[in-house]
Amino acid sequence: MNKAMVFVENQAFGILVKLAKRSKERGFDNFVLFRPMHPHEKEQLKQYEQAYKQPLFDRLVETERWDFDHIKKAVEEFEKEKSLAGLICVGGFFTQDGLLGAHVAKLAEERGLPTQSVEGLYRSNNKYLTRDTLFHAGLNTVDFGLATDEESLLRHAERIGYPVILKPINGCASQLVIKCENEQELIKGFHMGLKKLPQSLYKHMYSCIHRFPDQSGKMIEFNPLTSMLVEGYISGREASVEIVVTETEVIPLLVHDKVLVTEGDRVVYEHLLVVPPVRFHDKEIQRMKEYAVKVAKATGIKNALCHVELRYDEKTGPQLLEINPRVGGMLVTQSLETMIGFSVPDAILDLALGTFKPGTYDSISDLHAMFTLYPPHSGYFERVEGLDKLKRLPGILSTTLLFPEGSYIHGDDEEVFLLMGWMRGNSYEEILSVYEEAKKVVRFHIIKKEKGK
């Protein structure tokens, strides 16, 4: 009798489908606990199943509850039908019912299955705890503080020194990342952030009040809706390091050079990433890999793919922006497959099964890049023009429109990947030229009005 792979996920539909397909190919049944699917997701699932001539999900339970007891009951129902081979949570973000990844890790641990680290998940998903962990580990990191009111906000900023960055303590998509050059901007940014957090697309994440000890053992209660992280501004060239963490090892996989990054009023936008890096020499790349490994070890993460974002300060070297205990977004999965032959779906399954075996990960020298085209503002996505022209541009290997026409786009306060492209080029100059042409040929028509009006 086949064993079942259990997927518990409330965000990442695309990678969930890819994982389910690979799980089926490896002989497992797929039991899925997922949020209610959107109509376009149901259509995508139908198309997948027609192509592969079998259901991808043997059992699908849709829910809007993510508390531990509810998930546990669902898993217990799955167990009545099949023996479980593994439990997988891809995103694992905070929900209003707690840290989803930690819930799943605890359930796996109770069953003696390979699991991620509950402590590691908290210390990497909560940005205050990440900074605290790096500080106590003696790693290169900026000064920081938790602002819960104007008094603590100003106290931390005065100690840190301007400019400072304000950000949600458990945010994603570069949402509400606010650079403040002085006290006036700081106070304005803080109150704007607290006003916008409850209205955010991610309010379900920010509504999670949780308690966890810092490295000194002090228990801290975090309320993401009424507090923000204050930290020193990090300058320098930006890059990201993809790593894989087993029970005992931390292995760097690939470094992406974020050659075009812009800082908006409250969002940081990543436009163009190149691999192999074009702005870093070999010793700098090695330093970034070694630093990323130390950061992951300090947090206590295990059995996970990790995405480490950093900037390379010319004086102090690599400095952490954030670490995420999940594979990077945009087209990182495609890049890992192309550049080093690393299969993300297989790695996630193997980590959950306890069968992952590290390989040799030497990147090919052919220059590749991923780029994102962002919506000009929030509103209803009426239509897009120029996709055919985009696909005919030299070096374009694939393009992906992430939101179907007719969707509502939240494009003002977060980094919304509306269209992504994957390409190859003979030089950075050639890649940059194609990217600039892509911005010209693609036109998004978005009606600027409030949702529901």
The answer to whether residues 426 and 366 touch, using CB atoms and an 8 Å cutoff, is no
Question: Residue 453: pLDDT band by 50, 70, 90 thresholds?
Answer: very low
Helix (H) / strand (E) element for 389: namely: helix 387-391
Instruction: Measure the CA–CA gap between 321 and 238, rounded to whole angstroms.
Output: 9
For 317, left (φ over 0), alpha (ψ -120 to 50), or beta?
Answer: left
Output the average pLDDT for the chain.
93
More confident residue, 413 or 86: 86
Q: In this structure, what token pair is assigned to residue 200?
A: 């955010």
Instruction: Measure the CA–CA gap between 207 and 227, rounded to whole angstroms.
Output: 11
Mean pLDDT of 228-233: 97
Lowest-pLDDT range of 129-138, 194-203, 267-276, 368-377 = 194-203
What CATH number labels 237-447? Answer: 3.30.470.20
Helix (H) / strand (E) element for 294: namely: helix 282-299
pLDDT above 90 for 182: yes
pLDDT above 80 for 313: yes
Please provide residue 81's backbone torsions phi and psi, each rounded to the nearest 5 degrees: -95, -40
pLDDT above 80 for 388: yes
pLDDT above 70 for 451: no
Name the pairing type of β-strands 219-222 and 210-213.
Answer: antiparallel
Q: Write down the domain spans for the chain.
A: 4-115, 143-232, 237-447
Mean pLDDT of 318-338: 94
More confident residue, 451 or 282: 282
What was the pLDDT predicted at 268? 84
Q: Do domains 4-115 and 143-232 have the same CATH topology?
A: no
Question: Residue 173: pLDDT band by 50, 70, 90 thresholds?
Answer: low
Name the pairing type of β-strands 4-9 and 250-263.
Answer: unpaired
Mean pLDDT of 245-254: 95
pLDDT above 70 for 1: no
More confident residue, 300 or 49: 300
Superfamily holding 143-232? ATP-grasp fold, A domain (3.30.1490.20)
Name the pairing type of β-strands 219-222 and 396-401.
Answer: unpaired
Which amino acid does the sequence have at 127? Answer: K
User: Please, what CATH class does the domain formed by 4-115 belong to?
Assistant: alpha beta
Question: Residue 361: pLDDT band by 50, 70, 90 thresholds?
Answer: confident
Question: Residue 87: pLDDT band by 50, 70, 90 thresholds?
Answer: very high
Mean pLDDT of 107-123: 96
Mean pLDDT of 120-124: 97
pLDDT, tens only, 96-106: 999 999 999 99
Sequence length of the chain is 453
Question: Residue 44: pLDDT band by 50, 70, 90 thresholds?
Answer: confident
More confident residue, 154 or 172: 154
DSSP lists the bridge partners of residue 261 as: 270
pLDDT, tens only, 4-24: 999 999 988 889 999 999 999
Instruction: Measure the CA–CA gap between 103 and 71, rounded to whole angstroms.
Output: 8
